[in-house]
Amino acid sequence: MTYKEINDINAFARLGMGYQRIAAQTGISANTVKSYLQRHPGESHLVLCQHCGTPVEQKPGRKEKRYCNDRCRMAYWNSHQDEVKKQAFYTLTCKHCGKEFTSYGNRNRKYCNRLCYANARKKTA
């Protein structure tokens, strides 16, 4: 598991979610979430630096910090940039109007927008 996955699990656990809901939210398998929570009871308040894994002190009322310092944040983004881009964006062709469009995180989209989706359904109905 990555430090980011641990942070995600803990963030949802803090909201009182059970392991099955956490698994659905994070895309991590339910077994992995369950065994992590069992092995780390009472640690859901922890936020780990996503680069080096050091617990990051949180200031109450402030936005959650996920890096111990700017150097770790930059290092994390530099090493994950390519991965993030590759996985997240797909260039697809709209089945209705034939235009190319970019889909974020979902390569199974068929239409560039809701209008094309609606028109395509109207035609076949």
Q: Report the DSSP beta bridge partners of residue 102.
A: 91
Nearer to Zn ion, 37 or 48 (CB): 48
For Zn ion, give the closer residue by CB, 33 or 112: 112
Of 14 and 99, nearer to Zn ion (C-beta) is 99
Supply 98's token pair: 């034939």
Least Å distance, CB 48 to Zn ion, is: 9
Dihedral angle of Cα 24, 80, 11, 22, to the nearest 10 degrees: 10
Q: Which residues bind Zn ion (CB under 5 A)?
A: 49, 51-52, 68, 72, 94, 96-97, 112, 116
What is the nearest approach in angstroms of Zn ion to the Cβ of residue 47?
11
Of all helices (H) and strands (E), which one includes residue 11?
A: helix 3-14
